Chains A and B, each alone.
Chain A
Amino acid sequence: MDKNNFVTILGSSAICAAGEDKESFFYNSVKQNGPKNCRAISEYLFETKLDFPAFFLGPKILNKDVIRFITPFLEKNELEHCPNRTVEILLRCLYNLLIDAQLEPKDIKNKTVGIVIGTTVGSTFNNESYYKAYREGKRPYPYAIKNYLLSNLAQVIQSVLEVRGPTMVINNACASGTDALGIASIWIKSGICDIAIAGGADELSKIAYLGFSNLQLTSKYPCKPFDAKRSGLNLGEGAALMLLCPYKKSTQTKGFILGYSCTADAYHPTAPHPKGEGLKNAIKNIIEQAGIKPKSIAMINAHGTGTIVNDLSESYAIEAVLGCNIPVVSTKGITGHCLGAAGAIEALWTIEALNNLICPGTIGLNKKDPKININAIIQGEKVSLKSNIGISQSLAFGGSNSCLLLMGKD
């Protein structure tokens, strides 16, 4: 492996229903206590009571420290509050990233920092009350429009940190977070920027939730990835961010990105290829890029949503490329499906697992589907890892498949 091709992770942070920081997130998954914060949230999101539970961060996202941190941004843009909940989640995560990377905003002010953020809900105009008034022929005051135009997540981070450089928001549906990290790693390798902040953020949205339930993809129970009794996904919310730079030896290093690939199924608007053809190509690509042998890979953090078709498709691809013995886990049973944030949250969790050389089991997986011929670790079990190299992978609407090859710190 040529270390010059490594992209170094200098800092990381995450917030999701499994933990308000990355340490508690990983600790809770190792504890294997079952899904936390997965509950009906009808009182918060829905007018009518729907049966589908979701992984919820609670109504209040920002604490005093984060509010102090973002106040100049709000004042500059004449805002009383963050433009939306996704921005709140993102900025809380950003605040924690700076702490983790031991950076003060003044350390990077005016510097060239590439920013790539994945999201789905965060790029959508979902203000129901505004639209309802508009379609009734009213002309409501356009606060909602202002908030929408001030909520481009990459530009929000740029504005908060007062940095320069290219920004990008990736909308590759559920693979957006993985792709954001992947594109940032390409930027670093290409010299487009020397330092990058990348990841994903998404909030629980009523409209997205209704859409997934209209598509009959949601479960009435906590999700059970790879389980014989799995019946769909639960949505979640959260964010994860990484601070990336070219290869660097540092005590601060959290891990490395060794490879990234995005492929298309060219098969169906919403469903993955039944045999995981696109995903197979993505896994093969990252192994080839890094120049490693498949047996060097210790684990896979799968997309593992808990829907019938996703888990089958993914298992076919994994079995075809890496065989049926490599440990596979899904963290959706403890985080829910955080859409555009999912890939970033899972990449961060994978780095934690690789640094601890432990792969905890999949919350919700009690009895594996006999059609799934991979080594999906069941709830309550833990596997010691043979190396500190692993894969974090995402599948998405539109037939996107994205994989990151990750390595823990030296």
Chain B
Amino acid sequence: MDPVLLKTSIITNNKASLPTQISRTLRRADEITNLCVAASYLTLNNYNDIITKYSTPEERSIVISTRFGPIETNFRYLDTIFDFGESQGSPTLFSHSVHNTASGYISRIFNFKGPIYTISSYSYPLIKALLTAITLLKQDLTKLVLVIETETKSNLLNNGIKDLLSIKDFSTFSYSIAWLLTNQTELVNNTGLVFNNISLEDLSSYKPIYNLFSDIILEYQNKIEYINSYQLSIKLSKYLEKSFYEDTENIYFKINSNIGIAKGEIYKYKKEVLQ
């Protein structure tokens, strides 16, 4: 079966209502980890029983993508060195300043023991994670992948990038998007979305590679819309909530920027039901 998107969730603050057991595990975690775990929880919540029934922990995977990773956690670690001396840096902050800390938390909390990856890219982080997830699923290296894109707000970056590019508007904000994909019919309730013919081409050699603006161009219902990956998640979430039998056109998307092109198409998955 082609990989199917089952659910998407979005979170923009780390004050999500989580079960006590998860909150306890997160008591030392930094903002980016909290965001990623909360988005994972929202995404997996209604699927726990079916996931447990039809997949082993070793068949569940995680791909996290980010442009900047836990950059603010790294600054907090530096604060402890500047304030207290080189030998007195906080080991907790240091261990959370590593890019793949969030994936470790998620694998532990939700019992995912398959491949886990953290990717960093200034261009198309979500599409790169999606491409990785789809490749793992198509190669039968896993049955279920949690794909996450995440960033945290950094005033240092916001100001630095505005100064560097001489622009007025640039602002990072804190969020996590989580997408759940599978290649198993049993894991699909009724509806799903299939990503087809995804291709990705970076073109760093032809343009300055520090250009961060990459707009997703969606073509559907004879309309063209410019959105980002956060807005794409909201749109797909609504699309997934619609009645499966409602006749909706397929979506074609193109992600275009000065540093490359990603494109593909999204169509509805119809679960074959034996009469």
Contacts and interface: CB of A to CB of B under 8 A. Distances in A.
Interface of A: 46-48, 50, 76-77, 112, 120, 123-126, 128, 131-132, 134-135, 139, 141-142, 144-146, 149-150, 152, 154-156, 158-159, 161-173, 179, 183, 186-187, 189-190, 192, 207, 210-216, 261-270, 278, 281, 396-400
B97 to A, nearest CB: 7
B120 to A, nearest CB: 5
B113 A210 contact: no
Contact of B210 (A146, A166, A399): A146
Contacts of B204: 155-156, 158-159, 167
Closest 10 CB pairs of A and B: A398-B104, A211-B94, A171-B99, A145-B160, A149-B210, A162-B205, A262-B115, A264-B107, A155-B204, A398-B100
A150 B210 contact: yes
Interface residues of B, number: 72
Contacts of A278: 113
A199 to B, nearest CB: 16
A281 B58 contact: yes
A398 B116 contact: yes
> Most B CB atoms within 10 A — which of A173, A210, A397?
A210
B82 interface: yes
B86 interface: yes
A298 B64 CA distance: 35
Contact of B107 (A47, A142, A146, A266): A266
B103 to A, nearest CB: 6
Nearest to A143: B164
Contacts of A146: 164, 210
B256 interface: no
Interface in B90-133: 90-91, 94-95, 97-101, 103-105, 107-108, 111-123, 128, 131-132
Contacts of B114: 262-264
Contacts of B159: 134, 139
A124 B95 contact: no
B202 A158 contact: yes
B240 interface: no
Interface stretch (B71-79, B231-239, B245-253): B71-79
Interface of B: 57-58, 62, 68-69, 71, 74-75, 77-79, 81-82, 85-91, 94-95, 97-101, 103-105, 107-108, 111-123, 128, 131-132, 135-136, 138-139, 141, 156-157, 159-161, 163-164, 200-206, 208-210, 212, 259
Contacts of B212: 149
Nearest to A157: B204
B92 to A, nearest CB: 9
Contacts of B79: 135
Contacts of A267: 108
A166 B131 contact: yes
Given A159-B205, A173-B98, 10 more contacts: A48-B86, A123-B120, A131-B75, A150-B209, A152-B121, A186-B135, A190-B139, A207-B77, A214-B89, A399-B116
A192 B87 CA distance: 46
Contact of A215 (B95, B107, B135): B95
A120 B98 contact: yes
Contacts of A173: 98-100
Contacts of A397: 95, 98, 100-101, 104
A170 B98 contact: no
Contacts of A48: 85-87
Contact of B71 (A125, A132, A213, A214): A125
A47 B86 CA distance: 8
